Amino acid sequence: MRIDLSGQSVVVCGAGRGIGRAIADAFHGEGCQVIGFDISAGDSEHPPAAYEIVTGDVTAAEQVAAFARQTGAVDHLIYAVGIGSGQFGFPFWNVDPAAWGRVLDVNLVGAARVATAFAPAMIDRRRGSLLFFTSVAGQIGSQTDPPYSASKAGLINFMQCTAKDLAAHGVRANAISPGMVKTELNRSVWRWGQERLPEAERVDYETWAEAKIRQVSPLGRWQEPDEFAAMAIYLASDLARNITGQTINIDGGWVMHS
């Protein structure tokens, strides 16, 4: 089995760090022409990449449109952007409703802006693929961060809409749904919980993380960015030519469907 993406063009929104950076690096390693789009080009832990990362904000319609015009037609579009509200549920009315707007604008409406900007050229060429990064939170109604959870549920639904709209034009759309990844958002959940415990009951992040992953994942393993990158490459390839409208969970078995 051979995946050959060499020479194909890929836009990765969220390429500055984390899962998005791992995906951009992987496509670059496959010989693709990669262009990143991120609110920042990276940080001290993620030095400048071997490909261009354009600085821009997915919530700014004019910036997204200008980026699409500058980039032109691409073969694959990947949306690996996401933020949390910084507030936590248990129950949902503990979250200030004002916190919802920014999360929905980045996680859901931002995806619609980017897809709307790039889809016409894919339709004209009658080829291409879109890939959105969602979360198991969008499938299970996670109480940890209701705005985040709801935005990811909406993104799954939007992906299905795009898959149906674009299928007649030879363009596919799918989603990858991560489970437990050691990100800053995950650490914020740990901090929030520890602050509400008596001093004697608090534990460090690694101890908490190991107990958490055993609790939610049958395989008991954290997911790593390179796993998502490998699936992204497969879904972009011709081997996945009959896969569209699907949400692929990489979560250690946390969410299972019949």
Phi-psi region of 128 (alpha: psi -120 to 50; beta: other; left: phi over 0): left
Question: What are the sequence ranges of the domains in the chain?
Answer: 9-181+224-250
CA distance 57 to 39: 5
185-229 per-position pLDDT tens digit? 788 778 877 888 888 889 999 998 888 889 989 999 999 999 999
Question: Angle at CA 141, nearest 5°, toward 137 and 143?
Answer: 90
Pair 160, 119: CB distance under 8 Å: no
Q: For residue 63, how many C-alpha atoms fall within 13 Å in the half-sphere facing its CB? A: 12
DSSP reduced 3-state for 178: strand
Q: For the residues of 23-62, what is the DSSP string, one character each? A: HHHHHHHTT-EEEEEESSS--TTSPPPSSEEEE--TT-HH
What H or E segment, with its residue span, contains residue 248? strand 247-250
Pair 61, 53: CB distance under 8 Å: no
pLDDT the model gives residue 47 = 61
Which region among 16-20, 43-47, 92-96 has the lowest average model confidence (pLDDT)?
43-47
What H or E segment, with its residue span, contains residue 250? strand 247-250
**Tokens matching residue 88:** 């936590």
pLDDT at 46 over 80: no
pLDDT the model gives residue 50 = 86
* E strand map for 63-195: 76-79, 129-133, 172-178
Q: What is the pTM of this model?
A: 0.93
Asked if the 9-181+224-250 domain carries CATH number 3.40.50.720, the reply is yes
1-27 per-position pLDDT tens digit? 678 899 999 999 999 988 999 999 999
Let me know how long the chain is: 258
pLDDT the model gives residue 232 = 98
**Tokens matching residue 185:** 């958002």
Which region among 30-34, 169-173, 178-182 has the lowest average model confidence (pLDDT)?
178-182
